[in-house]
Structure 1
Amino acid sequence: MIAEAYAYGMKMHEGQLRSSGEPYFNHPIAVALLLAEQKLDDASIITALLHDVIEDTGSTWSEIASRFGNEVATLVDGVTKLTNLELSSKDNAQADNFRKLLMAMSKDVRVLLVKLADRLHNMRTIRHLRPEKQKRKAHETMDIFAPLAGRMGMQWMRDELEDISFRVLNPDGRKSIIRRFIKMRSESGDVIARITEDIRTVLKQANVEAEVFGREKKPYSIWRKMEEKNESFSRLSDIYGFRIITNSPVDCYLALGAVHKRWAAVPGRFKDYISQPKSNGYRSIHTTVSGRDGKRVEIQIRTHEMHTVAETGVAAHWSYRDGVRFENPFAVDPFKWLATIAERFEHGEDSQDFLEHVKMDMFQDQVFCFTPKGMVVKLPRGATPIDFAYAIHTRIGNSCVGAKVDNSRVPLWTKLRNGQSVEIIRAEGQRPQATWEDMVVTGRAKSAIRRSLRDERKATWIRLGREIARVALSRVGKESTDKALDTAARRLSLNDRDDVLAGLGSAELTGHDLVGALYPELLRDNVLPTLDDNASPVVIGLESGQEGRPAPCCNPIPGERIVGIATRGKGVMIHAIDCAELVEVEDEPVRWLDLRWGPGHDRADHEVRIEMIMANGTGVLGRICTLIGEQRANIVDIRFLDRKPDYFRLFIDILVRDMEHLTNVLTAIDADSDIAEVHRHRAAAPVQNRTTTD
C-alpha cells in the first residue's frame, strides 16, 4: 500500500515544482520519512505521501477512498482542511480557525502528526520563500505549531521548529548566541565531554547502569531564558544539559542520589516528574548541580521508555515495531487533553477566549500544590490561590475570600510554588471580582470568572431592561407583560424574555426594536415620536419656502439661542449660537439668518445626548433611569463607552422639552452620590444618522 501510494503521489504531482525548483513530490516523501522515523502506522505514512493531492492535484476524496480505504481518505481530507486554515491571521479568524484545528485533532490525532511533520519540512526549506512569507510562517509556527508539538510531548520537534523560526525572526540574536558558544568552547575546551565523563564515573561507582548524553541548549532556549530572567549570556547557569538514561525507575533515583552525593544540588531547581508526571505524559527527574569548575549544569534522569515518550510524545501512542502496535506504558492517551479542552469551553466561551486559554495550557510549565487533605493539584507556573480554588471546583473558586499557604494567610495574588499546601477560605454569598481576571493564569479560572461576571451583569441589565420596556411600550399605549416579552423574544430570534430585557439593558436593543417586533404597524403609521430627519422645528425667522433642520454638531433645543446658516441644497441648518462649527462660516455673513424658537414646544420630543461617569455598583444604573423617568424625560438609547471594575462611562440619549427640562434632568442626576460626572454631550456624529431611535 505504501509503494502504491508512492507511485500514485508521484504521478499526481508530476511536473509540479517547489519554490526551490526541486520536484514537488520530494516534499511528501520527506514528510513520510519523518513519520516513518517515529515508527508510525501505515495509514499515517500513506497519508503523508498523499497529504497534498486533494489540494494541489485533480484527485478527490472518493478516488483516494477507493484506492487506499476510507481511513486514509479521511486522514488526507483532515490534513487538507488544516492546511487551508489561515492560522497566522491577527483577528478573530485566528481564534476560530484554531478551534477548528483542535476539533479536527480530536477526531484523529494522526491528522496533527502529519501536519506537524509537514510544517517541520516546510520550515527546514523556508529559505526559498519570499522574506515576508518567511516571517508570516515563522510567526505562525512560533505561536501555534511549536507549542502544539510541545503539548503533544514531541519536544525535539518543538525545539527545532522554534529554532528555525528564531533564525527567521531574529537572525542577529541567534548569531549572537552561537558566537558566544564558539568563544566559550575556544576558551574552556569541550566542557560537555568532560562533564559527561565525570557523570559516567560517578554512576559506575554507584553500580548504576545507564547511558549519559550531553548537549548545549538550543539558541532559542538560551535567548528565552535571557529574556525571562533579564540576564546576560555570561550569567546564565544552565546553558548545558545532560541526560541519564537508566533501565528502571529505581535506577533513576539511585542515579539521582549518586549525582547529589558527588555535586551540590542547587536549591529550588529540583523537579520530580516521575512521581508527578506532566499532563502530556512527560516523566523525568530534573535537577541542577554545581559541577566541574563551579559551572551549573542541568541533569535529566529517566528510563528508556520515558525517554521515548519525551522525544516522540503522542507519536509513542501510535508507534509500531515489526508491524505490531507497540504499547509504551508511559504514553498518555492523546485524546484526554483534547476532551478536557472541549469540556472546558463548552459553556459559551467565545473563540478569542478559547485561543487564549489553550495557548496558556500549551505554554505553561507546571507546579504541584497540595490540599489540606494531601490531594495533589497541578497548576501552571505563576498560578495563584484563586487558580487553585477553581481547579478544585468552580463553586469553591466563586466563594473564595482568602487563602492560607503553608498555614500562613497570603494575598490572593500570591504566586504558588512547588510543594506548598494551600487552604482556601470561603464565604457564602461571595462573588468573583472583576480584578480577579488579572490575577489568574488558568483558562478554567478565567472562564469561570468571566461567566460569573457576565451572569451578574445580565441580572443588572434585566432589571434596567424591564424599565426601558415599560416606558417604550407605554408610549404606544401598550403594557409590558411577560407574554408580550416572550412574543418579542420569538420575533427577535432570542432565547427568552430575559434575553430581550438584557438586550435592552445593555443597549444591544432599543425600545424602537421592541415596539417594532411587537407592533410594526405602529412604526409604519409614525405613532412613535421620533426626530425625523426632514422635520422642520417651529422657528421664527425662516423665509418662505426655506426648510430648517437642527445641525447634528450641536443639535439645538428650545431655550437655546439659535442661528440659521443657509446651505446649498440642504436648506437652513439651525445651530446653537455657541456651536464651534460656526467659526468656519464667520466670514460669510450673507449666509447667516437670525432665528428664534416659536411657541408651542411643550412636548418632550427633542433628542439630547448626555454623558456620565457612574460608579459600577448594583442598581446604580437602574436608579438613574428611574430619576430620568421621574423628570418626565424618556430614554431613547444607552451606549456604554468604558466598562471598568469600579466605574462605567456611558451615553444616554433622552427626549426633553427644552433647555429648562434638560437642566432639571442633569441636576437630578448630578445630585446622586454615585455619579462622578454628568453633562450634555454635543454629538461628534449626526444624531439623526443613528440606525435606531425610540
Structure 2
Amino acid sequence: MSAQEPTAMTASPEQRLYEQLNGILGQYLDPVHIDLVCQAYQFGAKHHTGQFRKSGEAYICHPLAVAISLAEMRMDVHGIMAAILHDLIEDTDVTKEDILNLFGDDVAELVDGVTKLTQLNCKTQAEAQAENVRKMCLAMTKDMRVIMVKLGDRLHNMKTLGVMRPDKKRRIAKETLDIYTPIANRLGMNRIRHQLESLCFQAMYPMRYRILKNAVKKARGNRKEIVETIIHSLNTRLQQLHISCEIHGREKYLYSIYKKMLTKNLSFSDIFDVYAFRIHCDDVDTCYRVLGIVHNLFKPIPGKFKDYIALPKANGYQSLHTILIGPYGVPIEIQIRTHQMHRMSESGIAAHWLYKSDDEEHSKSKTRANEWVRDLLEIQKTAGNSLEFIDNLKIDLFPQEIFVFTPQGNIIKLPRNSSVVDFAYAVHTDIGNSCVSARIDKHLVPLQTKLENGVTIEVITASWARPNPLWLNYVVTNKARTGIRSYLKHFKQQEAISLGRRLLEKELKDMGKSLVDISQLMQQQLLLAVKLESIDQLYEEIGLGNKMPFLIAKQLNQTDISAVIKLDDTETRKETPLTIKGSEGMVVTIAKCCRPIPGDPIVGYFNPGKGIVIHHHECRNSTNERKKSTNWLEVEWSDDASGEYPTEIRLELLNQPGTLATIASTISKMGSNIENVIITDQDGRVSVDLITLTVKDRVHLANIMRQLKKLFIVLKITRTRG
C-alpha cells in the first residue's frame, strides 16, 4: 500500500473525507477531471494548514464535506473544485488572481461569488448580511453553481452548529430559514431544503425538536401494520391491472409537522393520522391511470386533489396529489409522479448536473430557474441599497408578505391585506395614533385601503386626531392592534377621570361645598370605604358610571364617612345641570335612538362601565329610566359646544332621475356630510328616504332643512326622533 493510500485506522479525518469524495467522483467523472480535483484539494489543504474549526477538526474538512454534498448531486468538475476552494479568499492570503492563474476563470468566478465581502462599511449586521446575499445573488445570475456551492456550504455549517453558543445558533438558523431554505425551494432543491429546515428547527427549538422526534418515533411503531396493509392493497390492485410502479411510504418531515401544528392549530395526532405514500411511474399516462385506480380503490375526499403535472409549481415541481379515505377510516395522502419528476423534485435545478440529459422537463426546469435569476438581476438594478434588495428578494420568496416604501425610500414589511393604518403603526406608534388619511403613489386614499406590493405611502397626520375603535375591524398587524387598544384604554381612562371630577364637583357644589373643602383624611377614609387606592381611581369609577356622584358627594358630606348611603325613591336633591361641551369623547356618548344635537333639551343617563349616554329630553326610551332617580342627571349643552353630530331627517321626494344627487349636492353645499341613506318606500311617483347627516347644532340643521324645502322635488321634510 502506497503512502497516498493510508489504512482506515491511520488515516486522518480529512484524508478519509477525501477518499470518500474520490469514490463518488470516480462514478461519473473522467480521471483527468479527478486529477484536477486532487490538485485543488492539495492547494486548499496547504493554505488551510494550521486552521481549525471550533469543533477542533482541521479546517479543510469543511470544504471537503461541501464538495461531497455537491458530488452526490453529480456536480461538474469546476463546481467541485470551487467547493474545495470556496473559503480560501476569505480566510487565507490567497487572492482571486491566484485561483484564476492556477485553475482558470470558471473556478475563480465561482469562488469569488461565494466569498463574503470582508471590507464592508456597514453600520449594522443586517446590512452586512444583506450585502453578502446581494453579492451572492448577483454572482448567481452569471452562474447557477454559485448558489449550489453556497447551499452545500450552509448545509455543512448547520450540521456542525453544535459547538456554537445558543444565541449564535438561533441567529444562523433564522438567517438560513429566512434566505437559504426559500432559495432552495424556489430552485426546486427539496432534498437540501428539508435537511436545512430540520437542522434549523433543531437549532432554534431543541426541546420542541426532541419532543416531536420522540413522538414520531413512538407513533411510527403503531402505524407499521396500517402502512403495510395500504401498500399491499395498492400493489395488489396495480399488479392485477399489469401496471409497474414503485410504492413508497413517505415519512413526514419534523419541521413540516411542526409548522402545520403551529399554523393550523392542530395536535400532533391530527397530523400524524395522515398516512403518506408516493407512487413512481414510468410515464405521465401511467400517472393518470394510477390516479383513477387509487380513486376506485379508496374514496377520494372532495376538494383535496391537485394536478401539478398539468400546472407545475413555479419551481418546476410536478406531481399528482390526492387525499383518500383508506382502510380503518384513516386519511391517505398519495403523490403520483414519474421517476424523473421525483428526481426533479428532490434536486431541482441540480438535476441538470445530476442527470446529463436533453430531456424537455430538465430544460423547462432550467429555463424557469434562469428566468427567476434574470428577475433577480432586475431587482438588483432597481434596488437602492442592499437592504432594499434583500427585501425585494423576500417578496419573491415569501409571497404571503408585502413590502411597501416610505416617501424616504425605506422598506416596510407587512402581512398581506394590511391597511394604511397598519403601515402607519409600522413606521411609528405616534404616526399611527395621529393618522387621518394617506397618499399612495401620490393619490389620496382612506385609511382602510388595503396595500399592494411596491407602493409608496405617505401618511397624513393631524395633531387633533386620535385612534378610532373602528380601525380594529380592518388592521391585521399586532403592532397596530396593540397600539390602538393601548391608546383608547389610556384615553378613555383620562376622559373618565376628568368627567368624574366634574360630576363630583357639581354634586358637592349643589350641597354648598367644594372639593377644596374635603380634607386629605376624609378622602382617605372614603377610598377605604369604597375599596379604591387613589382619588383618580374614584374619579374614573364615577366617570364610567360605576359609582354615582350624588352618593359619593353625600358620603363626603356625612360626619361618618364609612356610613352606607342609600337613596330613597322619595328623596329629592337640588340639581345643577352638567354642561356638555361635545369634546368629552368616549365617556360621553350620544344616544342613537333620538340623536340629540346642541340646542336640544337633553338628559343624561349613567351606563355602568361606559359613562354617560345623552338622550333627547322627549326620547321615548328615557321614560322608564327617569323613574330611577339615581340613574339620571340633568345636563345641558354648553353655549360653545363643538363637534359634528349625526341626526336623521325624513324626506318625501318626487321619484325622478337625479333626485338623490340634487339632495346630496344641497346638503354638501350647506357644510354637512351624509353618513347613510335608507329608501323606506318607493312607488312610481314618490319615494320616502331616511338620510343620516352630520350637523353642528339645531340652527345648522334648520338652515339645511330650509334649503331642502326650496327644492321642488321635496314634498315633505321632517326630523326623526326615536
Q: TM-score, normalised by structure 2?
A: 0.49
SS at match of 1:241: strand
1:343 equivalent in structure 2: 378
Report the count of equivalent residues. Answer: 393
Aligned with residue 60 of structure 2, among 19, 25, 34 = 25
SS state of the match for residue 108, structure 2? helix
Aligned pair in 2 of structure 1 residues 223, 14: CA closer, same or farther (>3 Å)?
same
Which residue pairs with 1:247 in the alignment? 282
2:239 corresponding residue in structure 1: 204
Which of 14, 19, 41 lines up with 2:76 in the alignment?
41
How has the CA–CA distance of structure 1 residues 98 and 14 changed in structure 2, closer, same or farther, with 3 Å as cutoff? closer
Give the deviation of 1:37 after TM superposition.
Answer: 0.8
Correspondence 1:185 to 2:192: no
Distance 1:351 1:71, change over 3 A: closer
The residue identity in structure 2 corresponding to 1:206 is: L
Alpha-carbon offset, residue 131 of structure 1: 2.3
User: Which of 83, 86, 106 is the matching residue for 2:141?
Assistant: 106
The structure-2 alpha-carbon separation of the partners of 1:91 and 1:267, relative to structure 1 and needing over 3 Å to count, comes to: same
Aligned twin of 1:446:
453
1:218 aligns with 2:225: no
CA distance in 1, matches of 2:117, 2:240: 53
Is 1:331 matched with 2:365? yes
Deviation of 1:73 after TM superposition, in Å, equals 0.6
Which SS does the other structure have where 1:15 is aligned?
coil
The structure-2 alpha-carbon separation of the partners of 1:82 and 1:271, relative to structure 1 and needing over 3 Å to count, comes to farther
Could you tell me which of 140, 143, 147 is aligned with 2:178?
143
* Correspondent of 1:76 among 108, 111, 132: 111
Query: What stretches of structure 2 of length at least 5 have no aligned partner?
Result: 1-35, 402-414, 420-440, 461-641, 643-670, 674-722
Q: Specify the code of the residue in structure 2 equivalent to 1:172.
A: M
Q: Deviations for 1:184-221, whole angstroms, at most 9, x for unmatched residues?
A: 23444454343333322232233322111112211111
| SS state at 1:48 partner | helix
The offset of 1:361, in angstroms, is 2.6
* Corresponding position of 1:271: 306
Asked if 1:7 is matched to 2:14, the reply is: no
Could you tell me which residue of structure 1 aligns to residue 22 of structure 2? none
**Partner in structure 2 of residue 52 of structure 1:** 87
Matched, 1:133 2:140: no
Cα distance in 2 for partners of 1:289, 1:98 equals: 43
Call closer, same or farther: CA 1:94–1:128 in 2, change over 3 Å: closer
Q: Which one-letter code corresponds to 1:446 in the other structure? A: N
Q: Which entry has the higher C-alpha Rg, 1 or 2?
A: 2
Are the equivalent residues in 2 in contact too, given 1:146–1:161 (CA < 8 A)?
yes
Aligned residue among 117, 123, 128 for 2:152: 117
Change (3 A) 1:265 1:9: same
Give CA deviations for 1:257-306 in whole Å, capped at 9, x if unaligned. Answer: 11111111122222111111111111111111122322212211111221
Contact 2:190–2:348 under 8 Å retained in 1: yes
User: Which amino acid in the other structure matches residue 292 of structure 1?
Assistant: P
CA distance in 1 between partners of 2:63 and 2:115 (Å): 13
Using the alignment, how far apart are the partners of 2:208 and 2:163 within structure 1?
Answer: 21
Cα deviation per residue 1:492-529 (whole Å; 9 max; x = unaligned)? xxxxxxxxxxxxxxxxxxxxxxxxxxxxxxxxxxxxxx
C-alpha distance in structure 2 between counterparts of 1:41 and 1:227, whole Å = 40
Q: Distance in 2 between matches of 1:22 and 1:437?
A: 57
Question: Structure 2 CA distance, aligned partners of 1:325 and 1:4?
Answer: 31
Matches within 5 A, 1:359-378: 359-364=394-399
Aligned equivalent of 2:338, options 295, 303, 311? 303
CA distance in 2 between counterparts of 1:248 and 1:86 reads 55
Instruction: Decide whether aligned partners of structure 1 residues 116 and 347 sit closer, same or farther in structure 2, where only a CA change above 3 A counts.
Output: closer
**Structure 1 residues 185 and 89, CA gap change in structure 2 (3 angstroms):** farther
Give, in angstroms, the shift of residue 364 of structure 1. 4.8
**RMSD of the alignment, in Å?**
3.6
* Alpha-carbon shift at residue 231 of structure 1 (Å): 1.2
Inter-partner Cα distance in structure 2 for 1:432 and 1:311: 49
> 1:432: how far off?
8.6
Instruction: Describe the shift of the 1:190–1:67 C-alpha distance in structure 2 as closer, same or farther (beyond 3 A).
Output: farther
AA paired with 2:88?
Answer: V
Quote the sequence identity (%): 41
Higher alpha-carbon deviation: 112-121 or 312-321:
312-321
- For structure 1, which runs of at least 5 residues remain unmatched after alignment? 367-381, 387-428, 440-444, 458-666, 675-694
Kept in 2, the 8 Å contact 1:437–1:446? The answer is: no
Task: Summarize the alignment of residues 402-421 of structure 1 with structure 2, pairs less than 5 Å apart.
Answer: none
SS of residue matched to 2:310: coil
Once residues 214 and 433 of structure 1 are traced to their aligned partners in structure 2, the CA distance between those partners, rounded to angstroms, is 54
User: Does residue 195 of structure 2 align to residue 195 of structure 1?
Assistant: no
Aligned counterpart, 1:159: 194
Which residue of 2 is the match for residue 481 of structure 1?
A: none
| Structure 1 Cα separation of the partners of residues 49 and 442 of structure 2 | 67
SS in 2 for 1:339: helix
How far apart, in 2, do the equivalents of 1:235 and 1:125 lie? 33
What are the equivalent positions in structure 2 for 1:219-618 lying under 5 Å apart?
Answer: 219-236=254-271, 239-319=274-354, 321=356, 328-333=362-367, 334-343=369-378, 347=382, 352=387, 354-364=389-399, 433=445, 438=450, 445-447=452-454, 450-451=455-456
- 1:140 deviates by 1.1
**Partners in 2 of 1:10 and 1:268 — Cα distance?**
57
Residues 152 and 280 of structure 1 are in contact (CA less than 8 Å); yes or no, is this contact kept in structure 2? Answer: yes
Per-residue deviation at 1:356?
3.8
Partner Cα distance (1:86, 1:120) in 2: 28
- For residues 158 and 330 of structure 1, the distance between their equivalents in structure 2, rounded to whole angstroms, comes to 21
Q: Secondary structure at the match of 1:81?
A: coil
CA contact (8 A) 1:271 1:286 kept: yes
Once the 2 structures are TM-superposed, how far is the Cα of residue 229 of structure 1 from its aligned partner?
0.7
Amino acid in structure 2 at the alignment position of 1:305: Q
Which residue of 1 is the match for residue 571 of structure 2? none
Equivalent pair of 2:113/2:135 in contact (CA under 8 Å) = no
Q: Which amino acid aligns with 1:57?
A: T
Q: What is the CA–CA distance in structure 1 between the aligned matches of 2:120 and 2:293, rounded to whole Å? A: 51
Amino acid in structure 2 at the alignment position of 1:68: F
- In 2, the alpha carbon distance for the partners of 1:194 and 1:296 equals 14
Secondary structure of 1:192's aligned partner: helix
Distance 1:18 1:140 in 2: 20
Q: 1:18 to 1:191 in 2, by over 3 A?
A: farther
Query: Does the aligned pair in 1 maintain the 2:174–2:200 contact within 8 Å?
Result: yes
Confirm or deny: 8 A CA contact 2:141 2:376 kept in the other structure: no
| 1:56 Cα deviation from its structure 2 partner | 1.6
Aligned to 1:371: none
1:173 is matched with which residue: 190, 204, 208?
A: 208
Secondary structure of 2:259's match? helix
Deviation at 1:383, TM superposition (A): 8.0
Q: Secondary structure at the match of 2:276?
A: strand
8 Å Cα contact 1:208-1:254 kept in structure 2:
no
Q: Aligned letter for 1:275?
A: A
Change (3 A) 1:43 1:188: closer
Q: Secondary structure in 1 aligned to 2:453? A: helix
**What SS is found at the alignment partner of 2:309?**
coil
